[in-house]
Amino acid sequence: MTTVHRLEGTTAPGARWVALVPAKWNGPLLVYCHGYGADDGAPIKLVPGAIGVERLLSEGYALAASGYSSAGWAAGDGVIDTLALVEALAAQRLHPCRTVVWGQSMGGLVAAALAEIPGAVDGAVSLCGSVVGPVGMMNQAFDAAWTASVLLDWEDVDLIGVTDDRVRSTHITGLLHRAKADAVGRARVALACAFGQLPTWSLPSQSRPREDDVETLLGNQAEVFGWSVLSPRNDMLRRAGGPFSWNVGVDYNSGLERSGFSALVGEMYSRAGLNLEADLQRLAEAPRVAAVPEAAARLAAVVTPTGRLAAPHLTVHQTGDAAPVVTQATAYADRVMREGYDALLRQVFIDRPGHCSESEAELLAALRLLEGRMDTGLWPDAPKEFSAFQPGQFLRPSTETV
């Protein structure tokens, strides 16, 4: 068995870190960035859950991870603390042949940001990452919640974010269940889900639905509505210093056409005997919500990928992920292409529902794919673990102005 040394410490910003380093090591360093949640003193997670630490150590990797200096939606702290961790390891006279960062969910956004900092890392993998950035992600989520609020007369629902996320999600989930009790309510729920681009195969416990089983398709979307479109708005509101989402000037007619769900919505409205054009007109005439421009700019500045890559970056998304939805991959790829760095980007997809449930084989395949790009300067063919898939357009990219 390979001898492994455990190192630990605290970064200059105040985050705990841990590293496991094989004896006589001069191989690659693999740094993990965790996702959204509390930083409460629990043991630091060194790898994504489906893969064992021992497996990666046996392959010659050193493993490291940092907590973040604050809890909650701490993507900005994640970037700073991860950079500080790499510096702390260098101070320990560790000299990896290459440094790769990988992260899940919000940690995938952290990894994307690190891939844009020259000299920070040699490669990055974003797993189920919120790569469009916080403003675009929460604007699209806001569209879904606002549509439901207007069409289902949710006068008591806080859409801005003062109410605790979990309390608001529980309340809206109850309202959704009541709305689904009749065909008119189900049609309007379908329209709201379309603007959120919520997946119709959304939870690992579900069987893949038939494409003509529209009631099940809608039911699957509604199952993830509450937590997908509402969290973590409250924590972001605190960091932004004010309301940061808006829908002034949004064309919901165009949004439905581009959503990928217009056929499902049309069928639900037809079954309900409801006039879709009338509801879209009702949305067009409803009072809109404006952001505080300084708050939106402040949140966007925390971590929003520019697309200007400094290292190879691999993104891995599940087709049935509800947070983030898979169309974020398209918005991010478009941004990278506009900046002229598309040769450094590769995107692969796992045809499965759920959020951040990659298998060990899929995680290893992702690492091999990135390593092939770093070794040769060219992206290898996608391994068999990934599916041929082309996501649709993301409806609210964060490059919009308030």
Opening angle at CA 231, ends 316 and 81, nearest 5: 60
Same domain, 146 and 108: no
For the segment 248-290, what is each residue's pLDDT rounded down to a tens digit?
999 999 999 999 999 999 999 999 999 999 999 999 999 999 9
Which pair of structure tokens corresponds to residue 33? Answer: 């960035």
Q: What is the pTM of this model?
A: 0.96
Domain-ending residue, one of 280, 299, 318: 299
Looking at the 3D structure of the chain, how many domains does it have?
Answer: 2
Residues 126 and 172 in one domain: no
CATH number at residue 10: 3.40.50.1820
Boundary of a domain, candidates 299, 320, 336: 299
53: containing domain: 4-133+304-376
d(CA 157, CA 323): 21
Domain check: are 148 and 111 in the same one?
Answer: no
Q: How far is residue 43's CA from residue 53's CA, in Å, rounded to a whole number?
A: 14
In a domain, 383, yes or no: no
Q: Does the residue 287 lie in any domain?
A: yes
Per-residue pLDDT, 169: 84
Q: Which of 6, 57, 37 is nearest to 232 (CA)?
A: 37
Residue indicated by tokens 């309390």: 167
Same domain (yes/no): 139, 287:
yes
Predicted local confidence at residue 399, as pLDDT: 62
Phi, psi of 351 (to 5 degrees): -80, 80
CB-count exposure of residue 174 (10 Å: 0-12, 13-18, 19+): exposed
Strands laid side by side in the 98-104 sheet = 4-10, 16-22, 62-66, 28-33, 98-104, 123-127, 313-320, 345-353
Do 275 and 187 reside in the same domain of the chain?
Answer: yes
Say what the pLDDT of residue 223 is.
Answer: 92
- pLDDT confidence of residue 230: 83
227 domain-assigned: yes
Looking at the fold, whether 128 and 142 belong to one and the same domain comes out as: no
**382 occurs within a structural domain:** no
Does residue 397 fall inside a structural domain? no
Q: Do 264 and 144 fall within a single domain?
A: yes
Check whether residue 122 and residue 226 sit in a common domain: no
Q: What's the alpha-carbon Rg for the chain, to the nearest Å? A: 22
What is the dihedral angle through the alpha carbons of 23, 126, 133, 321, rounded to the nearest 10 degrees? -130
Residue segments in the chain with a per-residue pLDDT below the cut of 70: 1, 38, 40, 398-402
Same domain, 142 and 57: no
Task: Report the run of H or E that residue 274 belongs to, with start and end.
Answer: none
Among 299, 317, 350, the domain-final residue is: 299
Helix ranges (DSSP H) in 51-105? 53-58, 75-91
- Region of 82 (left: φ > 0; alpha: ψ -120 to 50; beta: rest) is alpha
pLDDT on residue 40: 67
156 and 276 in a single domain? The answer is yes
pLDDT of residue 402: 60
Q: Are residues 110 and 149 in the same domain?
A: no
Say yes or no: 139 and 281 in one domain.
yes
Identify the H or E element spanning 242: none
Q: What amino acid occupies position 205?
A: S
Establish if 52 belongs to a structural domain: yes
In a domain, 186, yes or no: yes
Indicate whether 337 belongs to any domain.
yes
Distance CA 297, CA 135 (A): 9
